[in-house]
Amino acid sequence: MSIWQSEEFDNHEQVCFFSDQETNLRAIVAIHSTARGPAAGGTRFKSYPTDDLALDDALRLSRAMSYKSALAGLPLGGGKAVIIGDPREIKSRELLLAFGRFIDRIGNVFATGEDVGFSVADVEVMHEVTPYVGGTSKGAGDPSIHTATGVLHGLRAVAEFRLGRKNFEGMTFAVQGLGSVGWRVAQHLHDAGAELIVADVDAERTTRAQEIFGATVMDTNDIHAVEADILCPCALGGVINMSTAPQIRAQAIAGAANNQLASPEAGVILADRNILFAPDYVINAGGVISGVEAMQNMPGRSNFDAAPLEVLLEKIYGRLLEIFVRSEKENLTPEATANAIAKELIESKPVKEFA
Ligand code: NAD
């Protein structure tokens, strides 16, 4: 299939195909937009049933990165790389170096980092041959710390808009998933005086939450339907679907997990039931935001200008309020409103010339 016919093609600026026979490397880099600045996006390393699906993934994920960065107020565009193949079978130091040399060839319009199947250690190998990588251990550190901080700013907006609350004292949060982000979110909420209901497939984590936070533990199959002020999905995607959406009893849903809505229709059910949904790619942008420092230090970026990390993280609060107010006014779901604002930002005047 030709790129131009793909349903995921959205006038992407540049798509590169790389192959290196010696290391079995086959990679696609899609640059959706550099209107707001150099494109940034991680590298996904996985097998795909067909090459067309790999291309679709690169096209779709790179556009999502444009939206995410625009709404985070970053002077960045959107891009994404995929390496086709099972990383357990073909990942090697030589392959990573070959990939790094290809990324270097693209130059200062794209930088990449970790994603599914691609670790910080892999990024560091690439760094030996290209400066165009972010998220090494020398950068802003573990992105989940910043993602959790961003989620907290987002939860402030949700609590204020939906529940008229200025603090979390005495509110009840149902946290689904106590991993790198979820645990930190739970910790912050506990410190702020909130009550916690938690679920995780890892019983050790829920037991610890019970001991440390006095949390109530729920079955992983039931937590979405628990009575709480805010449901905070921090585990899997697709948790809000046509069968779970009618069961939600929380007043709002806001958490770190990617792609929480299985479909736009699930978002419509929430809106019809007056359950406020915080678009996940807006509230979970803290990790991407924390990579901005690395982007600033890349060659050819002398006029790259971004606000300090704390300021950028705090913007999540204001951006979500803007989305909620506008979605109410225009009678759209918050997700649809977020997409519309992202498009407007990308299509409006560029943030700054960078090339
Ligand atoms: P993680 O792997 O550290 O944590 C996930 C947690 O969810 C684990 O404790 C796991 O046991 C638990 N879990 C798995 N299946 C579950 C289920 N069915 N029910 C309840 N718990 C379950 O991942 P993370 O880094 O904390 O990320 C969490 C989510 O946030 C993911 O969807 C991720 O894509 C998204 N996200 C993370 C970041 C980041 O900076 N780490 C940034 C943006 C988005």
Q: Is the pLDDT of residue 352 over 70?
A: no
| Strand locations in the chain (E) | 14-20, 25-33, 39-40, 43-46, 77-84, 110-111, 172-176, 195-199, 216-217, 230-233, 252-253, 276-277
Global pTM reads 0.90
Asked whether 263 and 243 are in contact (CB, 8 A), the reply is no
| Phi, psi torsion values for 321, nearest 5 degrees | -60, -45
Asked whether 34 and 91 are in contact (CB, 8 A), the reply is no
Q: Which atom of ligand 1 is nearest to the CA of 142?
A: 40
Q: What integer pLDDT is reported at residue 101 of this predicted model? A: 98
Catalytic residue list: 80
Q: Which atom of ligand 1 is nearest to the CA of 288?
A: 42
Q: What integer pLDDT is reported at residue 194 of this predicted model? A: 98
pLDDT tens-digit readout, 132-181: 998 777 766 678 999 999 999 999 999 999 999 999 999 999 999 999 99
233 lines ligand 1 (CB under 6 A): no
% of the chain surpassing 90 pLDDT: 83
pLDDT tens-digit readout, 58-83: 999 999 999 999 999 898 999 999 99
Give which of 319, 280, 316, 301 is closest to 355, Cα–Cα. 301
C-alpha 180 – ligand 1 centre gap (Å)? 7
Domains and CATH numbers, the chain: 14-137 (3.40.50.10860), 144-285+318-341 (3.40.50.720)
* Test site for ligand 1: of 67, 180, 221, most ligand atoms within 8 A of the Cβ: 180
C-alpha 254 – ligand 1 centre gap (Å)? 14
Instruction: Please count the other Cβ atoms lying within 10 Å of the Cβ belonging to residue 325.
Output: 12
Using CA atoms, how far apart are residues 21 and 5, in angstroms rounded to an integer? 28
Q: Half-sphere exposure (CA, 13 Å, Cβ side) for 53?
A: 7
Running DSSP on this structure, what letter comes out for residue 215?
Answer: P
pLDDT tens-digit readout, 283-319: 999 998 988 877 777 887 767 778 889 999 999 999 9
Q: Is the pLDDT of residue 216 over 70?
A: yes
